Amino acid sequence: MSIDQSKVFAELSLKAVNPGAHDSQHGWSTASGVTFDAINPATEERLAQVVAATAEDLERVTQTAVAAHQRWRMVPAPRRGELVARIGELCKQHHQALAAIVALETGKSLAEAMGEVREVIDMAILAAGQSRMLYGFTQQSQRTHHRMYDQWLPLGVVGIISAYNFPAAVWAQNGFLSAIGGNTVIWKPSPKVPLTALALQHLCVIAMNELGQEGVFSLVIPESNEVAEQLVRDTRVALISFTGSSPVGRKVAQIVGSTLGRRSLLECSGNNGCIVDETADLELAAAAIAFGAVGTSGQRCTSTRRVIAQRSIARPLVELLKKAYGRIAVGDPAVAGNLVGPLVDRAAAAHFERSVAEAVELGGQVVFGGKRMDRPGYFVEPTIIVNARNEWPCVQEETFAPLIYVIEYDDLAEAIALHNGVVQGLASGIHSNHLGHIELFLSAAGSDCGIAKVNMGTTGADVGAAFGGEKETGGGRTAGSDAWRGYMRRQSVCINWGKDSPWNHLLND
């Protein structure tokens, strides 16, 4: 398997130089004339250029989204679902080409990129079905001849700010739920991965035109953060869904929170731990940890970063991990068989090197990998560091790289305390065959994360579940379960269908 870039570009309407903003009213914009490069992290070569969106571009896009919402909110929800379903069909039709773009600009393997586009298609199916099920509860009124229920109404314009690691799936999770909820969408992707966003917007344009639903999906790709901040500050934007680091998420929450009534939905850093107890199937655990830690080059917010291993099995577990890691092919993501590609850019590779150096300085021992690879592209070795301590600063922070720290424990209460002893709270896991251990991990005294997995890696959330985490991960939820409610406002309705009112007597002659 290899990628024919010019064929893929032609299929997805991508060019050597691409406009950086689109809305249905004004079309594609190249107003700024200032370009930036989309880079292939596997080769460090330029894939294409994008004309950076400006503040004026965003203003035009916002005006269109505000105006389009006036009409879109009154479109019956199942009709809204049809637009999302059509976008899903188009993604299915162009599945391979979209995956090729995802692989080229993120550096994730083609197989993983296929999986990410599959997630977009699955989200479209889920959201289209959900559009017929925006259920509110009915309540029993204490008043005679009164009916009560709650209903869910659109918020308005939703701004989606997404990270580089999932250039398609995160938009789909947020954008499709926003759209079925009657909101219009402004997407600001990471400028590190503009081509996937452009390709998806081209498909959205086809679907919107076909169904006569222009203005629902729009795109701005500025290079600088100032334009993104303008989106976050704009009081015409009812909800900002932000996926990225906790420090930036905190800033987003502060800005949005300074105007009451606006909302932020945050999906920020994770520092995901996996407990392996003395009853665990160690081969299953090692395979799951390898996938969770090294898949996507450790650049998922759900990637396994800390392995909390019972002392008696820590050594054999590490031996199995080394065996598994030794069989992981790292290389050009476009080549079949390579499981792991590069990190996204030079800064990410430097962060990896700094974290390894810090752990070694503090007494950690590298038992596998540890180095940046001597080849073009931002490749680093999948890395295992043992004798780590939870309180080390490098262990406490999220290093977006295929790097795990192994921390040993004696009893499960200690393991859970270590597990929860970080500021982040996204994904978590336990490998065990002891029912009591598993249930304690899942109890109120157990994992404090938004996602808890048993005998699985920490990555690979199913779209049917609500996705997100607690603590500094930000508390937002997207994707399945009842996450759609986060994109709508609840209205409690009470109807008097009788003839009585508390002060009826005032008018009774």
Q: Which residues are catalytic?
A: 267, 301
125-148: b (≥16 Cβ within 10 Å) or e: bbbbebbeebebeeeeeeeeeeee
Would you say 23 or 267 has its CB closer to ligand UN1?
267
Range in contact with ligand UN1 (rule: CB under 6 A) among 5-13, 144-152, 453-461, 490-498: 453-461
Range in contact with ligand UN1 (rule: CB under 6 A) among 214-222, 299-307, 336-344, 485-493: 299-307
Minimum distance from residue 352 beta carbon to ligand UN1 (Å): 17
Minimum distance from residue 280 beta carbon to ligand UN1 (Å): 21
CA pair distance 449, 474, nearest whole angstrom: 11
Minimum distance from residue 253 beta carbon to ligand UN1 (Å): 17
Would you say 22 or 351 has its CB closer to ligand UN1?
351
User: CA torsion sign, 218 to 221 to 227 to 232?
Assistant: positive
Instruction: Assess 294 for contact with ligand UN1 (CB under 6 A).
Output: no
Range in contact with ligand UN1 (rule: CB under 6 A) among 166-174, 200-208, 339-347, 365-373: 166-174
> For residue 402, which of 326, 341, 320, 335 has the smallest C-alpha distance?
341
Dmax (CA) for the chain in angstroms is: 95
Minimum distance from residue 460 beta carbon to ligand UN1 (Å): 5
Helix axis angle, 110-130 to 77-93, nearest 10°? 160
CA pair distance 430, 432, nearest whole angstrom: 6
Per CB under 6 A, the list member of 18, 183, 302, 424 interacting with ligand UN1 is 302
CA pair distance 95, 90, nearest whole angstrom: 8
Cβ burial, residue 326 (10 Å; 0-12/13-18/19+)? exposed
Q: What is the residue-wise DSSP string for 453-506?
A: EESS-S----TTSEE--EETT-S--EESTTGGGGGEEEEEEEEE-SS--TTGGG
Per CB under 6 A, the list member of 38, 84, 301, 385 interacting with ligand UN1 is 301
Instruction: Assess 461 for contact with ligand UN1 (CB under 6 A).
Output: yes
371, containing H or E segment = none
Would you say 19 or 333 has its CB closer to ligand UN1?
333
Instruction: Assess 77 for contact with ligand UN1 (CB under 6 A).
Output: no
Instruction: Assess 459 for contact with ligand UN1 (CB under 6 A).
Output: yes
Per CB under 6 A, the list member of 460, 465, 485, 489 interacting with ligand UN1 is 460
Residues sharing a CB contact under 8 Å with residue 2, sequence separation 6 or more, in sequence order: 334, 335
Interface mask toward ligand UN1 for 204-243; x: CB under 6 A: ---------------------------------------x
| Residues found in the chain | 509
Minimum distance from residue 344 beta carbon to ligand UN1 (Å): 12
Range in contact with ligand UN1 (rule: CB under 6 A) among 163-171, 253-261, 318-326, 333-341: 163-171
DSSP class of residue 372 equals B
> For residue 162, which of 38, 261, 268, 88 has the smallest C-alpha distance?
268
Would you say 166 or 368 has its CB closer to ligand UN1?
166
Instruction: Assess 190 for contact with ligand UN1 (CB under 6 A).
Output: no
450: tokens are: 């938004």
CA pair distance 171, 46, nearest whole angstrom: 24
Range in contact with ligand UN1 (rule: CB under 6 A) among 105-113, 179-187, 231-239, 297-305: 297-305
* Tokens 């450790």, located at residue: 298
Range in contact with ligand UN1 (rule: CB under 6 A) among 99-107, 164-172, 362-370, 408-416: 164-172
Would you say 182 or 295 has its CB closer to ligand UN1?
295
Q: Find the binding residues for ligand UN1 in span 241-260 (CB under 6 A).
A: 243
Minimum distance from residue 130 beta carbon to ligand UN1 (Å): 18
Instruction: Assess 166 for contact with ligand UN1 (CB under 6 A).
Output: yes
Minimum distance from residue 469 beta carbon to ligand UN1 (Å): 10
Would you say 18 or 243 has its CB closer to ligand UN1?
243
Contact present, 208 and 136 (Cβ < 8 Å): no
Tell me the helix, strand and coil percentages in the chain, rounded to 5. Answer: 40, 25, 35
Residue 84 CA from chain centroid, whole number = 18
Residue 468 CA from chain centroid, whole number = 8
Number of chain positions touching ligand UN1 (CB under 6 A): 12
Instruction: Assess 484 for contact with ligand UN1 (CB under 6 A).
Output: no
Minimum distance from residue 387 beta carbon to ligand UN1 (Å): 28
Range in contact with ligand UN1 (rule: CB under 6 A) among 101-109, 294-302, 393-401, 404-412: 294-302
Minimum distance from residue 170 beta carbon to ligand UN1 (Å): 6
> Which ranges in 271-388 belong to alpha helices (H)?
282-294, 311-326, 346-361
Binding site residues, ligand UN1, CB under 6 A: 163, 165-166, 169-170, 243, 300-302, 459-461
